[in-house]
């Protein structure tokens, strides 16, 4: 596992142009939605003090006022968000495909983008399949938790409810990690072998669940790294005040640094999964 992590990180660093493309794409998508939201806020609140307040402080009283008095136009904003999210989703599928190609094959950035565009439909089917299973898993866990809660409703212990909620949360989180890991390995397998979505997912399901015990610990290490990055980001962010233009600029720059680190981690995850499959074979 350590070898897969180390080689995966070296591959991700070597393929930094792909990381940069992922960063720019996510940055542009975020800026587009932010621009649309801010334009709507300025029009709805008529450039009032509340508009400037939201720039430095997420005052929930303002959001409540927006929902209560600007509900109709808020629906238009949500519709615009959906219209922006759809091309962003398709772009993300394509760039993820290019990232998997980059860590598994030699070639220039242009070659990776062209090859990623070729296999993007397969990645889209894999994404839809994975998201469906994740949604179904969460729904099943919620229904099971509700059933167990009702079944134990007559229990005299107050601790019973919290045990059920805690156990359900841990099991659901474990299921999510498992399904996300399967999805990553399915994308790597599909790219390397040209397998269809169902074939690659079935193979990855067996690989993670039965064949390679290191797949889940590897995913947990990368997940812990992502959480550590978030903790560092939040810790430093608490030291940056946003009551001035200078502070706002620093806060935005620090947020973009986190975004770049997350994109590097994304490519690292693909590279580590690729190395693990190669080591197993």
Local confidence pLDDT in tens for the 281 residues of the chain: 888 899 999 999 999 999 999 999 988 887 777 776 667 666 665 554 555 555 555 555 665 666 665 556 566 666 666 777 788 889 999 999 999 999 998 889 999 999 999 999 999 999 999 999 999 999 998 898 888 888 877 777 778 778 888 888 999 999 999 999 999 999 999 999 988 999 999 999 999 999 888 999 999 999 999 999 999 988 888 887 766 677 777 888 888 899 999 999 999 999 999 999 988 76
Residue 228 and residue 42: Cα distance in Å, rounded?
36
Nearest to 184 by CA among 227, 98, 123, 113: 123
**In the chain, what are the domain boundaries?**
2-280
Q: How far is CA 217 from CA 7, 178, 224, in A?
A: 16, 10, 10
Residue 242 and residue 246: Cα distance in Å, rounded?
8
Placement of tokens 């009032």 in the chain: 48
Residue 107 and residue 118: Cα distance in Å, rounded?
15
pTM for this one?
A: 0.85
Report whether 162 contacts 149 (CB < 8 A): no
> What sign results for the dihedral spanned by CA atoms 161, 162, 167, 169?
positive
Placement of tokens 């709507």 in the chain: 40
**Residue 245 CB neighbour total at 10 angstroms:** 8
pLDDT at 268: 95
Q: How far is CA 238 from CA 22, 96, 250, 278, in A?
A: 27, 32, 12, 42
Residue 192, class by beta-carbon neighbours within 10 Å (0-12 exposed, 13-18 middle, 19+ buried)? middle
Residue 151 and residue 174: Cα distance in Å, rounded?
24
Residue 212 and residue 215: Cα distance in Å, rounded?
6
């Amino acid at each position: 596992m350590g070898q897969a992590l180390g080689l995966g990180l070296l591959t991700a660093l070597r393929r930094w142009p792909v990381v940069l493309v992922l960063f720019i794409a996510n940055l542009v998508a975020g800026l587009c939605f932010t621009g649309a939201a801010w334009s709507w806020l300025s029009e709805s609140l008529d450039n009032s003090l509340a508009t400037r307040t939201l720039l430095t402080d997420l005052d929930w009283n303002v959001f409540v006022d927006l929902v209560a008095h600007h509900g109709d136009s808020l629906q238009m904003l949500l519709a615009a968000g959906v219209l922006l999210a759809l091309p962003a989703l398709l772009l993300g599928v394509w760039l993820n495909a290019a990232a998997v190609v980059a860590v598994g094959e030699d070639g220039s950035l242009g070659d990776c983008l062209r090859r990623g565009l070729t296999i993007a439909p397969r990645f889209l089917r894999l994404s839809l399949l994975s998201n469906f299973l994740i949604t179904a898993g969460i729904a099943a866990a919620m229904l099971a938790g509700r059933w167990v809660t009702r079944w134990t409703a007559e229990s005299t212990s107050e601790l019973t409810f919290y045990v059920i909620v805690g156990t359900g949360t841990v099991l659901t989180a474990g299921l999510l990690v498992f399904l996300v890991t399967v999805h990553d390995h399915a994308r790597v397998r599909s790219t390397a072998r040209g397998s269809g979505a169902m074939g690659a997912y079935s193979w990855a399901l067996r690989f993670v669940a039965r064949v390679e015990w290191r797949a889940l610990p590897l995913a947990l290490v990368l997940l812990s790294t992502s959480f550590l990055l978030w903790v560092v980001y939040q810790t430093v962010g608490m030291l940056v005040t946003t009551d001035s233009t200078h502070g706002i600029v620093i806060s935005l720059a620090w947020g973009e640094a986190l975004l770049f680190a997350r994109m590097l981690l994304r490519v690292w995850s693909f590279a580590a999964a690729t190395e693990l499959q190669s080591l197993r074979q």
